[in-house]
């Protein structure tokens, strides 16, 4: 199962995520306690080995800023949070990066990955970035088609149950592997990956 660890802000965070076996790491380039600058993100990206996807996360920034910051950061993917139209993804396609559409599960009922031209779909809680758990079971009844990630309130203690209920292609975590807001725990990252891998084998 694909695993993304998001909101990383230090080299130590990156090393912990890579060591634990993450498939992708995310850097927040929008208003957040986890925000990093494009310059900081570039330094973090340089510590990520080939084969691990690097993702710049945006919300509500103008597309010209997204384009500029993503290039400066040197990431392999752009994640757009919110209700962006399909034209936004079409406009960014020439960057040659993986495009991730992140939206609330409620807004994406009956969704399929690729509906807006995205490469990956991320379904979050009704309050994205809040770290609040929500009812994942509805997704399991009619899961999106294609490559989609479950996010919102995931943590080592509940991710196996969430995977069993929602049956996602991948999972995304940020606050669930923090000791306090914005500060990642290598131990929690490792535990999260271990629980996901065990759930996948199950």
| pLDDT tens digits for range 47-79 | 999 999 999 999 989 999 999 999 999 999 999
Instruction: Give the global pTM.
Output: 0.94
- Residue ranges in 74-114 assigned as alpha helix (H): 86-92
Mean pLDDT of the region 29-55: 97
Judged against a pLDDT cut of 90, whether residue 82 lies above it is answered with no
Q: Could you report the per-residue pLDDT of 126-164, keeping only the tens digit for each?
A: 666 666 666 777 776 777 889 999 998 999 999 999 998
Active-site choice (6, 13, 113, 172): 6
- Residue 124 is a catalytic residue: yes
- How many Å apart are CA 108 and CA 111, to the nearest integer? 5
DSSP-based three-state secondary structure for 88: helix
- Residue 6 is a catalytic residue: yes
Active-site choice (13, 69, 113, 124): 124
Among 170, 155, 158, which Cα is nearest to 200's? Answer: 170
Tokens 């084998």, residue? 201
Phi, psi of 167 (to 5 degrees): 55, 55
Judged against a pLDDT cut of 90, whether residue 104 lies above it is answered with no
> Across the chain, which distance is largest between two alpha carbons, in Å?
44
Among 104, 132, 116, which Cα is nearest to 78's? Answer: 116
Q: Count of alpha carbons within 13 Å of 125, Cβ hemisphere only? A: 17
Torsion angle of C-alpha atoms 196, 49, 187, 167, degrees rounded to 10:
-10
DSSP-based three-state secondary structure for 98: strand
What residues have CB less than 8 Å from 31, skipping those under 6 apart? Answer: 59
What residues have CB less than 8 Å from 180, skipping those under 6 apart? Answer: none
């Amino acid at each position: 199962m694909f695993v993304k660890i998001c909101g990383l802000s230090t080299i130590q965070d990156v090393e912990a995520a890579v060591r634990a076996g993450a498939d992708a790491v995310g850097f927040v380039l929008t208003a957040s306690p986890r925000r990093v600058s494009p310059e900081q993100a570039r330094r973090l990206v340089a510590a990520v080995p080939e084969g691990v996807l690097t993702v710049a996360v945006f919300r509500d920034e103008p597309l010209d800023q997204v384009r500029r910051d993503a290039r400066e950061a040197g990431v392999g993917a752009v994640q757009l949070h919110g209700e962006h139209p399909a034209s936004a993804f079409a406009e960014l396609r020439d960057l040659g990066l993986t495009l991730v559409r992140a939206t609330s599960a409620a807004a994406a009922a009956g969704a399929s990955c690729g509906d807006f031209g995205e490469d990956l779909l991320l379904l979050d809680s009704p309050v994205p970035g809040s770290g609040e758990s929500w009812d994942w079971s509805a997704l399991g009844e009619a899961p999106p088609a294609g490559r989609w990630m479950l996010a919102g309130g995931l943590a080592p203690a509940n991710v196996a149950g969430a995977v069993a209920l929602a049956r996602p292609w991948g999972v995304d975590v940020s606050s669930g592997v923090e000791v306090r807001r914005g500060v990642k725990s290598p131990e929690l990252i490792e535990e999260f990956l271990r629980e996901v891998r065990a759930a996948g084998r199950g």
